[in-house]
């Protein structure tokens, strides 16, 4: 049975936690994340997809690993597999990011004060950011990859931290590194090494290549 057509709906018209479909997602491509920026990256690249939120225990996955790259990959795979179990015939993209400073893993801040504490911990340090993507179908991971970036955080004064959060909170509550690199978050850093899309939250170019290999995008 053919799926009914879906009216075009741009990401810009939606809130950051809205479940939605884009264009005519006849390819059966699903995005297993509620992340606004990841959906925006795919939409800007011309990828048609449907968002289905995964239901996974992220803390359990993190508890079983200590290496950021493995954690990011396992989280991306877990998200893709959770949705694939519900929609076995469709391809599912999972993605996640992990931030580590001095060997300590950081979660998304739960409050403004916790965000300030994270920024104090980052000050003058090298921040390791790992973003991973995975593809699953029929309940099996078909591909996954993690990209890594290093960001040198400059020395942050308390006045700057508070002024920064006056502007960026609560938007950065949804970011594991307490920054949006495409906005005022760029002011946190003295130097950046790594892929732009990895820093945004997903290794987009390798993912697009895999979508083309599977005929989910024109080659």
Instruction: Decide if 102 is catalytic.
Output: no
Q: Identify the sign of the CA torsion 76, 77, 78, 84.
A: positive
Measuring CA to CA, how many Å separate 71 from each of 3, 58, 87, 208? 36, 10, 24, 22
H runs (alpha helix) in 85-152: 112-122
Please calculate the CA angle 197-130-97 and round it to the nearest 5 degrees.
Answer: 80
What CA–CA distance (Å, rounded) separates 20 from 9?
8
Whether residue 76 contacts residue 133, with contact meaning beta carbons closer than 8 Å, is answered with yes
Find out whether 187 and 164 touch, Cβ atoms under 8 Å: yes
Cα distances (angstroms) measured from residue 178 to each of 1, 10, 132, 186 = 45, 26, 18, 11
Choose the catalytic residue: 57, 90, 96, 190. 96
Q: What separation in angstroms does the CA of 207 have from each of 21, 110, 157? A: 19, 30, 38
Return the structure tokens found at 207. 């993912």
Angle, nearest 10°, between helix axes 112-122 and 158-168? 130
Which residues does the annotation mark as catalytic? Answer: 96
């Amino acid at each position: 049975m053919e799926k009914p057509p879906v009216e075009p709906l741009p990401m810009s018209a939606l809130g950051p936690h809205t479940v939605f479909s884009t264009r005519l997602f006849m390819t059966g491509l699903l995005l297993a994340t509620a992340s606004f920026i990841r959906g925006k990256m795919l939409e800007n690249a011309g990828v048609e997809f449907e968002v289905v939120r995964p239901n996974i225990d992220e803390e359990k996955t993190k508890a079983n690993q200590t290496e950021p790259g493995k954690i990011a990959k396992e989280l991306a795979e877990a998200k893709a597999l959770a949705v694939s179990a519900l929609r076995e015939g469709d391809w599912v993209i999972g993605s996640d990011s992990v931030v580590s400073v001095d060997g300590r893993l950081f979660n998304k801040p739960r409050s403004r004060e916790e965000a300030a504490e994270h920024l104090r911990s980052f000050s003058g340090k090298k921040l390791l950011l790992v973003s991973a993507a995975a593809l699953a179908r029929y309940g099996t991971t078909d591909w996954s990859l993690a990209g890594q970036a290093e960001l040198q955080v400059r020395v942050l004064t308390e006045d700057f931290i508070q002024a920064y959060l006056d502007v960026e909170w609560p938007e950065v509550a949804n970011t594991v590194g307490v920054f949006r690199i495409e906005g005022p978050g760029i002011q946190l850093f003295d130097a950046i090494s790594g892929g732009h899309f990895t820093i945004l939250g997903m290794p987009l170019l390798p993912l697009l290549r895999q979508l083309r290999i599977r005929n989910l995008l024109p080659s």
